[in-house]
Amino acid sequence: MKTLITIAKKAFKPVAVIKYLFFPFMMAQSQGTVDFSKIVKSETIVAQVETQTSVWIGTNNGLYQINKSNGKFVHLTTNNSVLPSNHITGICVTKDENIYASTDNGIFRFDGFSYLLISTENANLPTDNFTSITCDENDRIFIGTKSHGIVLMKNYKCQTFNQSNSVLTSNSVKKVYRDENGIIISELGNGNFVAMGSSNMILINTNEPYDLNVIAKR
């Protein structure tokens, strides 16, 4: 059985573009409860996560960062940030509150101080076309791709799992997410599901219980 322990040796190259935290469009809402619908308006919400201070909303027209205490918000697009595409496909937040957003043209990261673009130009990624993104309790990033399987990223080092080196039955990944047990689940393009723990990857039936010991959380 293929494992998820080994990380690819190719290191993350120096990033090409970093923009520091000078938001171009900081707008104020009234004090009190924030009405996200008025901020996002008619755009399609794809994903949403929260940090201690902000709500991040991914849409079909860029990213929104909304201050939870005062309603001020930033609308990030390809025109005012390093966001590689306005089509957000997923968002996740790590324990240290780094924000990762997947798009159909690369990955956006915000560490609280600077924006960062992660792509095939500065990381050993198999593609820039991503369908979703999530992370586990160990801050490992799991990214679904349209046609290249699943990418595991840790400290900017990447390993790709596909039909040739894992139990994946399709290289098309519809969605990756973390379930209530902390297990990373991937829905494949052919309708199969894969569960990924800290050491193993197995095919599962989501309608039946799966053995947590088999995928060895730690």
Chunked into runs of 10 residues, the chain (218 residues) has average pLDDT values of 40 41 39 66 90 95 93 94 97 96 98 94 96 94 97 93 96 95 93 87 79 54
Amino acid (one-letter) located at 169 = T
**What is the pTM for the complete model shown?**
0.81
* Torsion angle defined by CA atoms of residues 44, 92, 117 and 65, in that order, rounded to the nearest 10 degrees: 60
CATH number of 18-165: 2.130.10.10
Residue spans of the domains in the chain: they are 18-165
> How much is the pLDDT for 208?
72
Q: CA-CA distance, 74 to 65, in Å (whole number)?
A: 5
Other CB atoms within 10 A of residue 167 CB: 16
Helix (H) or strand (E) holding 37: helix 36-40
The tokens describing 143, both together, are 């990214």
Residue partners of 27: CB distance under 8 A and separation at least 6: 72, 73, 74, 75
77: phi then psi, degrees, rounded to nearest 5: -135, 180
Question: Among all chains, which residue has been given the structure tokens 């915000």?
Answer: 110
Other CB atoms within 10 A of residue 190 CB: 11
Q: CA-CA distance, 128 to 136, in Å (whole number)?
A: 21
> How much is the pLDDT for 210?
66
